[in-house]
Structure 1
Amino acid sequence: MTVRTREYWATRIGLILAMAGNAIGLGNFLRFPGKAAAYGGGAYLIPYFIALVLLGIPLMFVEWTLGRHGGLHGHGYLTPMLYIVSRNRLTKKNAAAFAIIGGTIAFLTGVMITGYYTNIIGWMGYYATAAISGKFAELTDATKAKTFFIDFLTDPARNVPAWFISLLVITLIVSRRVRRGIEIAAKIMMPILFIEAVILATVSLTLGAPVKPEWSTLKGFEWLWTPNFEKLKDPATFIEGAGQIFFTLSIGIGGIIPNYASYLRREDDLPLSALTTTSLNEFAEVVLGGSIVIPLLYAFGGPSIIQDIAAGKLSIFLASMVALPPLFNHLGGLGALAGFLWYSLLWFAGITSAIAIVNVLTSMFEEDYGIARRYSAWIAFMMVFITGVFVNIEGAMKTDQLTDYLDLVDFYAGSLLLLVVALFEVVAALWLWGIEESYRELHNGAYITVPKWYWKYVVGIITPIYLIIMLAWFLATGTESAAAKPENIFGWIGVAMMVIMFLIGLALNYKALYKRYGEEIRRGVSPREG
C-alpha cells in the first residue's frame, strides 16, 4: 500500500483551537442551557458529567485514535479508517462491508446536518447585522419580534443571501487547505468567540433588572442552577444529559473529529490534546453558555418565560430569536452592541463547526478521487447546497410548520444516526482492532497515560452499552415525536433526501475504498495489518 503524503497542523495551538471550534457550536450557548432548565438545573450536571466521563471522553479518545491512525495511512475520512482497523479481526470482505456501511451513515449525517445547520448560521449572521444596524428598534415586544422572525424565514430575498454568504465563507476557508485555511480561521475566530462570550456573560450577570425590579439577571442565573433533585428520578434526565454530551462534543457527526486528527503526526500527543479540547468546550458550555441566555431571558420575561422553556412549551432557540431582540432594543445603544455580540458569537460558533464537516467531504474527493482541493471544496459546497435549499424553499412556501424539513432531518441525521456512527467507531477500535493495538496507538507520543482499565472496561464495555441504551430510548420514545414524522410535503422531501444521500454515499464510499484496497479485499490478504 502506498501511503500518501498529507498535510499536518502547523502548530499545536492551531490544532486545539480548530478542534475546539469544531466542538463549540450553537448547542453550547442554546441547547445546553435549555436542557439544564428542563431537567433539574444544577441537578442536571450530575447525569451530564457522568455521561462526559463514561461516553464523551471515551469517544473523543476513540475518534482521535482512529483519525491519526487513518491519516498515517493516507486517509481523511471514516470509511477507510474503519476498514484498516476492522480487517484485523474480520475477513477483508466483511471488514470492507462493515466500513462502507459505517462510513456511509457518517457521510449521510455530515451532508444532511450541514445543509440545515448552515441555514441557521445564516440566520445568526443576519440577526447580527440587524442588531448593529438598528433594525431591532421597532421590536418593542415579543409579538413584533416573532413577526419579524417569521417574515425573515418566509422572505428568500433575505434568508437566501444570509445562508449563501455563510456557506461561501465556509467553502473558501476549506479550499485553502488545513494550514492556510482552517488553522488560520480557527486562530482568528476562536479568540473572538471567547472574548464575545466573556463580555456577554459579564453583561448578563451585571445587568440587573432593566424591565422589572424582581426580574434581575442574577435571579435568572440562580433559577437555572438551583438543583431540582426530583428530576433525577426521571430516566429521561440521564438520557438527555448523555445526548447533550454527544451533541456538544460533535461526536459521530460525519467523522469530523477523525478527519481533523488525521492531520496529526505519529509522534503528536493524543490523550492530553483530546482532554484539552474537551475542557475548552466544557468551559464554553457550562460556564459561559450557562451564564448568558437564561439570565437575559429572565430579565425580559421573568420566571414565566423560563418555565415555558422548562416545560417544553417554548424552545430556547425560538426564545433567543423572539424574546431577546426586544430586550436588546430596551437597552438602547448597549443593547444594539450586546445583540450584535450575541448573534455574531453564534455565527462564529456555527462557522467553525461547519468548516469541519465540509472538510470531510472535501477530503474524500481530493484524496481518493484525485480531484484538486479547490474543486473538491466546491463539490462539497454543491452537495450542502442541495440538502440545505429545501429549508429556504419551505420558508418561501409559507407552510404551517415552516421548518418541517429541518426538524425531521435534525431528528434522524442530527440525533439518532450519530449514535449509530459512534457505535461503529467503538466496535471498530476496541473490538475489531483490539484493546492492545488501539491502546498502543493512543499512547504514541502521549504526554499523559490513560489507565488501561479505563480503556478496557469503560471505553470497551460501558460506552457501547451506554450507546445501545440511548439508541433504544430514542427508538422507543423519540420516534413518536412530531419531529420524527413528516407533517407536509417538505417532511417527505427530507425523507427522500436522506435516502438519496445514503445511496450516493454508499456508491462514493464503495468506489473509493475499492479503488485503494480492491485487490487486497478481493484476494482476502493484506500486505499490512491494522
Structure 2
Amino acid sequence: MAQVDNAQSREHFGSRLGFILAAAGAAVGLGNIWGFPTQAASNGGGAFLVVYLLMILVVAFPMLVVEMAIGRHGQANPVDSMRSLTSNPMSQKVGAAVGWIGLSVPSAVLAFYSIVGGWLICFLLGAITDLLGMEAATTWFKGFSVERNLFGTISFYVLTVLIVQGGVKQGIEKWSTRLMPALFALFALLFVYIMTQSGAMEGLKHYLVPDFDKVMDRKLILAAMGQGFFSLTIGGCSMLIYGSYLSKKENLPKMAMNVTLVDTAVAFVAGLVVMPAMFVAMQKGVQIYAQDGSLLSSDTLVFTVLPLMFDSLGWLGQIFLIVFFLLLTIAALTSSISMLECPVALVSERFHTKRTSTSWVLGGLIALFSVIIVYNFAAMFGLVAMIATQYLQPAAALLFCLFGGWVWSRHSKIKELEQGCPEFTQGWFGKLWPAYVKFVCPILVATVIWASFG
C-alpha cells in the first residue's frame, strides 16, 4: 500500500494555529463576506443569524468532523483517502469514484470563483488609481470589458499558484497565518469607521435583534441551513485534504470546532460591517430594498452598493474602499489556495511530480477553462456557478456523508477520532456522533439539495 509510505513522508502543518487558520481560511471566502450578510439582509437580519448559528452546530460541524477524519485516516488525496475507508475491492472502487466527484468540486468552483477574485483585484486597483487621480485607468478597472476580466482572472491565478507551489508549511500555512489575522484587523478597522456614520446603529439593531416571529419561517430555515453548509465548504474537498495534513496526535473534534468558530466569527463580523454599511448607504439615498422588502441587487451588493457608501465620504472613503477590496481579495485567496491544493495533491502524490511544476500546470489548465468562461460570460458564468454549487458540492457532501456513515466501519471511525482524543467515546458528542452521521446528516444534506431545487 502506497499509503503507508505516504503517511510517513507526508508533510504536516507545523502548528495548531497554522492548521486552524488555513482550514478556516479555506472555509472563509466570499460566501462569508458576500453571501452571509446578503442572506441575512434578505431573511430578516437577527432571525437569520440565530437560525444560522444553530444550523452550523447541527448540520455543518458534525459533517466537518467526518470530512477531516476521512482525510486524516487516509493521509492522502481525496481519491485515495476514500478508498482507504474499506478493504472491500468493490467498495474501494465506489470510494475512489466518490473521491473523483469530490475533486471535481474545487476545480469547478475555482473556474468561476477566480473570475470573481479577478474582479476584486480590478476593483482594488481601480480604487487605488482613483485615489491617485488616474481617471482613464480607473474607468478601465471598474468597467466590465473582456480584457479587464482576463487581466483580473489571470492575476488571481498567479497569486494562487505562487502560494500553493510553496507546499503546506512554506506556502499554505505561512500565508494563511498572515492573511487571516490581516482579514480580522481590516474588518475591525472598517467596523469602527462605519459605526461612526449615521444610520449604522439602525443596521446593527436589524442584524443583532432577532424578530422571533420569523425564526420558524421555512424559507429562512432552509436558507440558513444552506448558508451554514456552504460556509464551511462541506463537500468541497478542502477540509478533507487539510485533514490529511493534520498530525494523528491532534484532537480532531476540537480542531474542527476551532475551525468552525473562526469561520463563523468571520461571517458574523462580516454581518457587523455589511449590515450597518447598508443602512448608512440607505441614509445617503442609495436604494437597497425593493417595495416588497426584498434585496434589490443581492448578487452585486458588494460591488455596487457598498462602494457607493464610501464614494460619498471623500478621500477618506476612497482609502476605506481600498481596505474593503483588499479584505475581499484576501478572503477569496485563502479559499482559492485550498481549491487548487486538492488536484495538486492528487497529481503530485500519484505521479510523484514536483509540486512547483504541478501547481503551474494544473493552475494553468483550470485557468484556461476560466478564460473560456470570460469569453462566453453571459452563457457560461451563471451555469458553471450553479452546477458547481447547487449540484456538485451538495452531491459530493451527501456521498462523503453516506460513505463515512455507512461504509466506514464504526470501530475504525472511532479509533481514528480516539487518536489525539482518547476520551472521545466518553463524552455525549462521541456517543451520538457515529449514529448522527449515519442517519441524521444524510437527511439534512438531502434537505439542502431539495431546497436548492425548490
TM-score under structure 1 normalisation? 0.79
Could you report, residue by residue, the CA deviation over 1:339-388 in whole angstroms, capped at 9, with x for unpaired residues? Answer: 01111100000001000010111011100022211121112212221221
Q: Take 2:182 and 2:119, find their aligned partners in 1: how far apart are those partners?
A: 19
Question: Unmatched 5+ residue regions in structure 1?
Answer: 140-146, 210-215, 396-401, 478-530
Q: CA deviation at 1:198?
A: 1.0
- Aligned partner of 1:429 among 404, 423, 439: 404
Give, in whole Å, the separation in 2 of the partners of 1:102 and 1:352: 25
2:55 — aligned with what? 51
Does residue 159 in structure 1 map to residue 140 in structure 2? no
User: 2:127 aligned with 1:131, yes or no?
Assistant: yes
1:95 shift after superposition: 2.8
C-alpha deviations, 1:256-299, integer Å up to 9, x for none? 1111111122212211111111111111111x111112211221
Distance in structure 1 (CA, Å) of the matches to 2:398 and 2:291: 32
Look up the match of 1:326. 308
> Which of 200, 203, 207 is 2:193 aligned to?
203
Alpha-carbon deviation of 1:306? 3.8
- Rate the CA distance shift 1:457–1:60 in 2: closer, same or farther, 3 A: same
1:48-447 equivalence runs, <5 A = 48-71=52-75, 75=76, 77-87=77-87, 91-96=88-93, 98-134=94-130, 152-156=143-147, 158-206=148-196, 208-209=197-198, 216-253=199-236, 255-286=237-268, 288-302=269-283, 305-308=287-290, 311-312=293-294, 314-395=296-377, 402=378, 404-446=379-421
Distance 2:250 2:399 in 1: 25
SS in 2 for 1:305: coil
Give the match for residue 212 of structure 1: none
Q: Residue 205 of structure 2 aligns to a residue in which SS?
A: helix
2:24 paired residue number: 20
SS in 1 for 2:143: helix
Equivalent pair of 1:174/1:181 in contact (CA under 8 Å): yes
CA contact (8 A) 1:171 1:377 kept: yes
When structure 1 is superposed on structure 2, of 55-64 and 223-232 the one drifting more is 223-232
Instruction: Tell whether the 8 Å contact from 1:205 to 1:291 is kept in structure 2 after alignment.
Output: no
Provide the rounded CA distance (Å) in 2 between the counterparts of 1:323 and 1:138: 23
**Do the aligned residues in 2 keep the contact of 1:54 with 1:459 (CA within 8 Å)?**
no
In the TM superposition, what whole-angstrom CA distance separates every residue of 1:424-444 from its partner, at most 9, and x where no partner exists? 112222211122321221121
After superposition, give the CA deviation of every residue in 1:446-497 in whole Å (9 maximum; x if it has no partner).
Answer: 287452332133322211111112222323x2xxxxxxxxxxxxxxxxxxxx
Per the TM alignment, residue 148 of structure 1 is displaced from its structure 2 partner at its CA by 6.0
Cα pair 2:390 2:449 within 8 Å, conserved: no
**Residues 279 and 381 (structure 1 numbering): CA distance in 2 closer, same or farther, change over 3 Å?**
same
Q: Is the 8 A contact 2:122 2:142 kept in 1?
A: no
**Does the CA contact (< 8 Å) of 1:329 and 1:336 recur in 2?**
yes
C-alpha separation in 1, matches of 2:380 and 2:132: 28
In the superposition, relative to structure 1, how do residues 311 and 111 fare at CA in structure 2: closer, same or farther (>3 Å)? farther
Contact 2:50 2:210 in 1 (8 A): no
CA distance 1:8–1:381, change in 2 (3 Å): same
Uncovered stretches (5+) of structure 2, i.e. residues with no partner: none
Q: What code does the residue aligned with 1:95 have?
A: Q
Whichever residue aligns with residue 18 of structure 1, its letter is A
- In 2, the alpha carbon distance for the partners of 1:79 and 1:441 equals 18
3-state secondary structure, aligned to 2:450: helix
1:291 partner letter: L
Given that residues 194 and 273 in structure 2 are in contact (C-alpha distance below 8 angstroms), is that contact kept between their aligned partners in structure 1? yes
Task: Write the distance in 1 (CA, Å) between the matches of 2:35 and 2:291.
Answer: 11
In the superposition, relative to structure 1, how do residues 470 and 327 fare at CA in structure 2: closer, same or farther (>3 Å)? closer
Alignment match, 1:484: none
Offset of 1:56 from its aligned partner?
A: 0.7
Cα gap change, 1:314 to 1:405, in 2 (>3 Å): farther
Q: Which residue of 2 aligns with 1:507?
A: none
CA-CA distance at 1:119 after TM superposition? 1.1
CA distance in 2, matches of 1:126, 1:160: 10
Q: Deviations over 1:382-412 (max 9, x none)?
A: 22212211332135xxxxxx4x422221122
Structure 1: distance between partners of 2:142 and 2:56: 40
The offset of 1:312, in angstroms, is 4.6
Aligned-partner residue type, residue 176 of structure 2: A
Q: 1:149 to 1:241 in 2, by over 3 A?
A: farther
